[in-house]
Amino acid sequence: MNIAELGACPDTDAVMQELDKHDLVKHALELDAYGVTLIPPETMGVSEDFVKRLRGAIIRACEQRNGIEIGDYHTSEAKGEGLFKNSWYLLQEDPVFAEAATNPAALAIARWLLGRSAILAGHTWIIKPRTSHDLSLHSDAHGIPPGGGHIAHVANLSWLCTDYAGPEDGPTVFVPGSHRYGRATLPHEQKLADCPFKTVTLKAQAGSLAVWHGATWHGSTPRSNPGLRITLVQVYMRMHMRPINMWQDAPLDPALVEKHPELATILGNNHLYPYKEHNDHPDRVAPFMRTGTDPFA
């Protein structure tokens, strides 16, 4: 007996059948158990050509948008702000970005975490040069406070465009099972150097898709290798993670806001989202992330 074939739960059945069809059942189970999984290129149904096109499109978009030269990613000495800025809103930069976002296996695993109504909230690149900095442990489920439950509201589907062969590549690290803590990291839990939690380090070849439940704590270690680590980060969310009205599209009469100053807060005028190619308000990130640790923040 195969329950998914019985038609009692159309949405669940469809999600289960897609997992089965793409050989993703083990990965779905790992997401439930550990909050993270790594899907190899052959399961994603992508070839070396896809990875090459994706990596090339990211490099080209970065070079064109930021007026820099990257060249050969194996040996590139590029560094600085030009690698980071204007990295969002990629869908129309190259057809490969829509291909990545709608890959059938990617959608199957996104829908396991977020339901069939999942939306692509945004996608961005990471181009990581040699660096001595790490990225502190954090959750990507900003604004989901303790009490928000174990259900994933956010999922990160990151396409590795270069090999993560070892720690010298500056890979992502995870605290397995931390999605069950149901909150973001507190300040004393964030430093990787003296992390009280056991972590696992991502090790995989280019073309693999790293998938994590948005609440899974993760960060990344310094990169000592020359050249660049290149990743396409795809953030999917549940469909409720949307405002009803786009207040910012039609600014209110300043006199009204002056009369009712709380309007600026409740309409989200100081919200981090939405932004387009670049977040122009990095100072808004920390307060937003803090809302993942305190239901009254």
How many Cα atoms within 13 Å fall on the side-chain side of residue 252?
A: 18
Q: How many residues sit close enough to ligand AKG to count as binding (CB under 6 A)? A: 9
Among 140, 215, 223, 238, binds Fe ion (CB under 5 A): 140
**Would you state the structure tokens that stand for residue 126, as one six-digit string?**
């990471």
Residue 55 interaction partner, one of Fe ion, ligand AKG, none, beta carbon < 5-8 Å per kind: none
**Would you state the structure tokens that stand for residue 196, as one six-digit string?**
């009280």
Q: What percent of the residues of the chain are helix, what percent strand, and what percent coil, each to the nearest 5?
A: 35, 20, 50
What is the nearest approach in angstroms of ligand AKG to the Cβ of residue 129? Answer: 12
Q: Which of residues 204-223 bind ligand AKG (CB under 6 A)?
A: 218, 220
On whether the CB atoms of residues 24 and 31 are closer than 8 A, the answer is no
On whether the CB atoms of residues 215 and 152 are closer than 8 A, the answer is yes
Among 46, 135, 157, 272, binds ligand AKG (CB under 6 A): 135
Among 233, 257, 263, 267, binds ligand AKG (CB under 6 A): 233
156 binds ligand AKG (CB under 6 A): yes
On whether the CB atoms of residues 124 and 271 are closer than 8 A, the answer is no
Residue 64, judged by CB atoms within 10 A of its CB (0-12, 13-18, 19+), counts as exposed
Residue 185 interaction partner, one of Fe ion, ligand AKG, none, beta carbon < 5-8 Å per kind: none
Residue number, nearest CB to ligand AKG: 172
The strand pairing partners of 223, in sequence order, are: 131
What is the nearest approach in angstroms of ligand AKG to the Cβ of residue 99? Answer: 20
Under the rule (CB under 6 A), what is the footprint of ligand AKG? 126, 135, 140, 156, 158, 172, 218, 220, 233
